[in-house]
Chains A and B, each alone.
Chain A
Amino acid sequence: MSTEHLPFPGLRSGVEGVPTQDEAQNAKEYTSDQEVRWCPGCGDYAVLKAVQGFLPQLGLRRENIVFVSGIGCSSRFPYYLDTFGMHSIHGRAPSIATGIATAREDLSVWVVTGDGDALSIGGNHLIHALRRNVNMTILLFNNRIYGLTKGQYSPTSEAGKVTKSTPMGSVDHPFNPVSLALGAEATFVARTIDSDRKHLTAVLSAAAAHRGTSLVEIYQNCPIFNDGAFDAIKDNDTKADAIIGLVHGEPITFGAGTRGLIRDSRTGGVKVVETAEVAADALLVHDARNPDPSQAFAISRLTEMGYLDRTPIGIFREVARPTYDDQARAQVATAREAAPEPAADRLAALIGGGDTWTVV
């Protein structure tokens, strides 16, 4: 067995290679003629509006954008966007998107998925997409409940949760999607909130610009089966204390600057301190571009056991690594360049190769 040294394709934008359009576009052009059928008050509406408002800003040709989804409430998303789209099967959207993104450099590929779709039935495909770093953006709508099947706990529901299928409380330990993605060495990992359109749009913009798999966890409220799941980070009385904003290059503080994060030498993780009690330069400065994901992982662990009283929001990690699809296409391109035309002649040489004999 041997290994080949693979060429590094250089730093490129996530939408490089996708045809652009000069004329200004608007949200209406990205809105399909289909009636939106989510429940009233669903957080998905806000995300749909934000995406319809954001896509025109990308300046890409609409026909070169593809949205792929799996199964679940959020997976109806592609029907409401006037781009190319596929509403596929449960959990498999990342694999279908991998095929699309690898086959075509000129497409901007998006996956819309939920906590059940991405982390339960499709967990395998998610981690492998992240590991490979296929150029796509995954929007993971996390409402921490199964909505479409009417209210069972999900792999992000907090332990002890009482649902239709867990009347005495769930004994499942939840996933932290950001920790999971960082563990899979995802190159872009972010978390945002459905109701914060400004933050959501900024994160989407960075995710689209990132070349590779971008995972964006969107906390999204389900008003029917899990209403109030995110009250801690939405309630005006508590959110300043609960949300820990992450900005690359800035010291990590929250609670109107009264608290911050420092390294915890005892655990190797991070811990919350009163900013007044430590020297200013002791505060942890957020470094999303650190090739080592350890610190980002430590920060993600603040959301312990799925309880949201300390919730980092923002871009945890944003690093460059060659993408699977770029490299796969480069190998094909290299082989093609070396091959003479026409292909029919090469086909004849291929099938006529090996030991042959002629009968006259």
Chain B
Amino acid sequence: MSKQVKQLDRVIIRFAGDSGDGMQLTGDRFTSESAVFGNDLMTLPNFPAEIRAPQGTIPGVSSFQVHFADHDILTAGDAPDVLVAMNPAALKANLADLPKGATIIVDTHDFTARNLTKAGYDANPLDLLGDANDPLGEFQVQPVDLTGMTVAAVAEFGLSRKDAARAKNMFALGLLSWMYGRPTEGTTAFLTKRFAKVPAIRDANITAFRAGWNFGETTEAFAVSYEIKPAPQQPGVYRNISGNLALAYGLVAAGVQSGLPVFLGTYPITPASDILHELSKHKAFGVTTFQAEDEIAGVGAAIGASFAGSLGVTSTSGPGIALKSEAIGLAVMTELPLLVVNVQRGGPSTGLPTKTEQADLLQAMFGRNGEAPVPIVAPQSPGDCFAAALEAARIAITYRTPVMLLSDGYLANGSEPWAIPDVADLPLIDPGFATEHNHTSADGTTEFWPYLRDEETLARPWAVPGTAGLENRIGGLEKGDGHGNISYDPANHDLMVRTRQAKIDRIADSLPPLQVDDPSGPPGEGRAKVCVLGWGSTYGPIGAGVRRVRRAGFHVAQVHLRHLNPFPKDLGEILGRYDKVLVPEMNLGQLSMLVRARYLVDAIGYNHVRGLPLKAAELAEAIGALVAEAEGVEVDLSTPTQEAPR
């Protein structure tokens, strides 16, 4: 008997279990299969800060959400269509996120009295299925003894019961792979390689994976499987990539494209450590990684390496930036190239180490003593971290300045299909080291002036030790214009403060015009009265929210910033075209504050700091409300029209 196959255009699945249940791996594998299958996708891993939180408890729940579709999608999805819950805590922790009618697959094996108590259940909700007071009555619940069937399936390999049960995540993966017609070769190959040294474990995992698939195919409990066709994509070679990996590759590429050795000085911190782990593998590219004694030494060593002619990089999260601030000020004063990567997380203080937020924008902008302008670059999606890292390196090297690269926890750990760029198309970056004297004194002798500037960029020369005749001393004290000797002269200080600012402002000359996504008409003549302005990882939710509004037949424009300092030159003019500007951010209104101050625009904030990406549906309602206000119309997003673009 062949089962019914239903067509779907998109599905959101959340795998949830105890921290030790292997949910991140399960999600990763499902994602890889979907990517290879050709769906567009976005992922949202969500895990506790504790490495081994108490087993079976709500704080110990780890989850991985994947959204995959037959069309271009922008977010990991607001609400899961399917929840796989490996224990009572996973069910309880995720239930509030499910829409009515969602499918829940639970591992009945772990619904023991002890686990139910740990999760805070007075009674087993599975015992009430179908009753009048069924707490899960709104959902389609599929109780399956995943653990029991796994243990039975792998009995032949002679594993302990504990080890045998650990393969249950692969059983679940097999079942879901059957349900959604995922290819299986990749996971089999992955397991073969991963457990090559322990054949029993390898075989148990592969067997559990296949058993899960076969269970789906044979059991009557699952009557339907689903097909989500591949999404049309631009021609090219693709891979799935996470933000931290793309960012690390971008740094390697910056080294190759500039011809400079990359020197990473850093200290481990969530969620940035994977950048260190990845770069430590790429010594063959001349990459040196230095795990310092603290955050300050990390940036200090990076500054030293830059002084010595490397591309100095330091990677951290918000608390680390706080510690590095004085050193970043030194790099501002000494005008040395330096990349400062901040993978933002929830704050203040230690905050939410494993959750996302974008509340360090003003810290990046102003978090130093004195007038210390630092360019800021932000990626908008996991794959975009590659290009953003290259762009940050271009600015740092060309303008001899520290540059802040603002990623966040969602970009870092989330993943998406990425069109692998052709290396021949990547920009070249010229370090342009100083090689000779650049100043002639009144008496006709020549000398080297370390603070004589390039007329176009206002960048000072990068004079690397070992270059004869260029010996010079730099430091944190104020420099005399040109010659660079210590100067306490009032007029000179005023000039130098303004010059350092002017140098950063000049970066805007090198930026392309902003891309305005406004299908309502040509620039300045469109019908849209509302513009949504964003930066960083909110690109996906904003784009999805804007699409919903347009699908309902309304007009709205979208602008997304890669450069937060300096702003692109045309930003003020663009914002001026619209009656209302909405700025969605995962903070309390930091970009809003900057554009208000800079352009006197009445920017309206849309702000959530829940440690999670913005929800596209909620954001669409906020956009719709603003459209209603601006255009004086009723806005109802529940009835999509066909003529509007998706």
Contacts and interface: CB of A to CB of B under 8 A. Distances in A.
Interface of A: 19, 32, 34, 61-66, 68-69, 71, 78-79, 81-90, 92, 94-104, 106-107, 124-125, 128, 328-329, 331-332, 334-336, 338-339, 343-348, 350-360
Given A89-B326, A332-B283, A350 B252 contact: yes
B611 interface: no
A87 B36 contact: no
Interface in B233-251: 233-241, 249
A322 B288 CA distance: 18
Given A347-B252, A350-B249, A102 B292 contact: no
B465 A128 contact: no
Given A344-B423, A355-B35, A63 B467 contact: yes
29 contacts: A34-B473, A64-B466, A79-B485, A85-B475, A88-B475, A88-B476, A89-B326, A89-B329, A92-B297, A95-B265, A96-B304, A97-B304, A99-B304, A102-B288, A128-B293, A332-B283, A332-B286, A335-B284, A338-B284, A345-B423, A346-B284, A351-B386, A354-B239, A355-B240, A357-B35, A357-B36, A357-B237, A358-B238, A359-B235
B327 A89 contact: yes
Contacts of A65: 465
Contacts of B303: 88, 96, 99
Contact of A348 (B326, B423, B473, B477): B423
Which of B286, B301, B473 has the largest count of A CB atoms less than 10 A from its CB?
B473
Interface in B339-369: none
A184 B476 CA distance: 29
A100 B237 contact: no
B186 interface: yes
Interface string B464-476: 0111111111111
B290 A98 contact: yes
Nearest to A95: B300
B473 A357 contact: no
Interface in B277-295: 282-288, 290, 292-294
B475 A124 contact: no
B421 A351 contact: yes
Contacts of B253: 347, 351
Given A63-B471, A87-B475, A359 B238 contact: yes
Contact of B235 (A95, A328, A335, A360): A360
Interface stretch (B89-97, B220-228, B308-316, B571-579): B308-316
Contacts of B329: 89
Interface string B9-52: 00000000000000000000000100110100000000000000
Contact of A64 (B296, B301, B465, B469): B465
Given A34-B473, A101-B304, A351-B421, 20 more contacts: A34-B485, A86-B474, A92-B297, A95-B304, A98-B304, A99-B308, A103-B305, A107-B308, A124-B297, A329-B288, A336-B286, A344-B256, A347-B253, A348-B423, A350-B249, A351-B249, A352-B420, A355-B35, A357-B238, A359-B236
A135 to B, nearest CB: 13
Nearest to A348: B423
B471 A98 contact: no
